[in-house]
Amino acid sequence: MALMTWNNGYSVGVRAIDSQHTTLFNLLNGLHEAMMKGQSENLTGPLLHKLVDYTRDHFSAEEAMLAAANYPGLAQHRIAHRDLARQVEGYVAKFEKGEGAINIKLLVFLRDWLTDHIQGTDKKYGQWLNQHGVH
């Protein structure tokens, strides 16, 4: 069973961003599936890194779109992205030192953050980007 299922309720109205968000859902679901199957750290570790790397790339792409459209909430948006990045990087550092495991608590945190961020913060910029020619 998937941890997250994409539906149009998550759409921000910008195809490129929706596609990236869908990929984030898929990566998080892959990590969840590996954890639920008890797959070894040699699989879950690389999946965690892939999720983190893709999230960084997504944040950069999203922020570039917002900057190009002179989105007035960009500064606050960057702060939200940096806060999550710091939290996840701290978790990854613990995981790499053997001080933490990939567990449901982490996955629920990531799921909830992604859901809240998309449906709250990201939804706010969709109309702005659309009005500035980004669909």
pLDDT in tens, 46-72: 888 898 999 999 999 999 999 999 999
pLDDT at 23: 96
What's the chain's average pLDDT?
A: 90
CATH class of the region 14-131: mainly alpha
Each domain of the chain, given as residue ranges in start order, spans 14-131
Contact 62, 20 (CB under 8 A): yes
pTM of the model: 0.91
Distance CA 90, CA 19 (A): 27
Contact 91, 37 (CB under 8 A): no
pLDDT at 1: 81
Among residues 118, 113, 102, the alpha carbon closest in space to that of 62 is found at: 118
C-alpha dihedral (48, 50, 52, 55), degrees to nearest 10: -140
C-alpha dihedral (14, 16, 20, 23), degrees to nearest 10: 110
- Is the pLDDT at 41 greater than 70? The verdict is no
Condensed to tens digits (0 to 9), the pLDDT of residues 78-96 reads: 999 999 999 888 888 888 8
pLDDT at 37: 84
pLDDT at 72: 97
pLDDT band at 40 (very low <50, low <70, confident <90, very high): low
Condensed to tens digits (0 to 9), the pLDDT of residues 100-122 reads: 777 788 888 889 989 999 999 99
pLDDT at 100: 73
Distance CA 66, CA 127 (A): 12
Stronger pLDDT, 35 or 28, i.e. the higher one: 28
